[in-house]
Amino acid sequence: MEVLFTFVPKDHQQEMLEKEFPNVDFHFTKQDKSRLSHAEIVVTYGEDLTAEDIEKAANLKWIMVASAGVEKMPHKAILEKGITVSNVRGIHKIPMAESVLAHLLSIKRSLPTIYEKQTQREWHRKIRSSELSGSTALIIGPGAIGGEIGRLLQAFGVSTIGCNRSGKQADYMNEMVSFENILEVLPKADTVISVVPSTEETRGMLGSEHFKAMKSQAIFMNFGRGDLVPDDVLVKALNDGEIGYAVLDVFEQEPLPSDHPLWGMENVVVSPHVSSHSGRYVERALEIFAPNLKKWLENNSDLTNQVNMEKGY
């Protein structure tokens, strides 16, 4: 039985897999899809498979995506062939929550100013720092990642409002609201953080009326997907002073074109979709993959983190 990796784990990680599964024929490649027609399982970052690939992959039964988003996958072709898809949702929660807190605290505690004044060797103490403690945050998408963000925010004395489809209670949220009632809570939030995936419901979910409803000092953070809000709506909201700051890890178009206005705006941080980066990423992905592979070999179809390709998550 063949397993094709379209990325290359570290040597000791490859050896660990080969030792644990001596009867499995592993191919670790750098996006080399030449063995795709032989593989029963493909392990991929989810950005390198086309509908034609799926067509050719005669033996493919399971795609393990070592990423959380599956929107770049050929959904229709995968659904038609009844291929199982699983992902690594949850493994991003620690690095992403740390990134969100890093950016938020950095703004509150004036780090961009401190860094800039250091380059000028200027002992500049007229810094207007504020506190995260005592503020209110709205978390759009209080799932695994959003919940971890909520847990950390609460430790800092932040009141958390979760916003999901149903408005049903989620972990580490002091209060909940449904997607359709989001306008009611936006005026209360000092920080608005989105970590939702790209789905039919979230694409274009935020428009100018939402930014108008936010506090003029609000910090808007998009760490989910760039299609949540059109870039031009966001640029206008910032230019019109409807919000105070934006920290963006995702964009409508990635890479963000070098002539895009967001790059040069003073109250914007452009993070090049790196918030989930971690030196421990592949290690954690394999911790999810190995037990799933064991189940697969035992014909146990109850895989962890299976993705419903019709819903897209």
Please give the order of strands across the beta sheet that includes 159-164: 175-178, 159-164, 136-140, 191-194, 219-222, 245-248, 268-270
HSE, side-chain direction, 13 A CA sphere, residue 22:
1
Query: What is the spatial distance between Cα 233 and Cα 312, in angstroms, rounded to a whole number?
Result: 26
H/E segment holding residue 178? strand 175-178
Is 210 an annotated catalytic residue?
A: no
Nearer to a second copy, 82 or 264 (CB): 264
User: If you search the block for the tokens 């049903």, which residue do you land on?
Assistant: 168
Closest separation in Å from C-beta 280 to a second copy:
7
Nearer to a second copy, 55 or 131 (CB): 131
Catalytic residue at 225?
Answer: yes
**Shortest spacing between CB 44 and a second copy, in angstroms:** 18
- The dihedral built from the CA positions of residue 244, 249, 250 and 254, taken in this order, carries a sign that is positive
Is residue 290 helix, strand or coil?
Answer: helix
Cβ distance to a second copy smaller for residue 34 or 120: 120
Of the candidates 103, 210, 225, 242, the residue annotated as catalytic is 225
Rank residues 110 and 208 by Cβ distance to a second copy and give the closer one.
110
- Find out whether 84 and 306 touch, Cβ atoms under 8 Å: yes
Q: Which of 254, 277, 280, 287 is catalytic?
A: 254
Our answer to whether residue 92 is catalytic in this structure is no
Sites of contact with a second copy (CB under 8 A): 94-95, 98-99, 101-103, 105-106, 108-112, 114-115, 117-118, 121-125, 127-133, 151-152, 155-157, 254-256, 258-259, 263-264, 269-275, 277-280
Q: Is 161 exposed, middle or buried (0-12, 13-18, 19+ CB in 10 A)?
A: buried
Q: Which residues have a catalytic role annotated?
A: 225, 254, 273
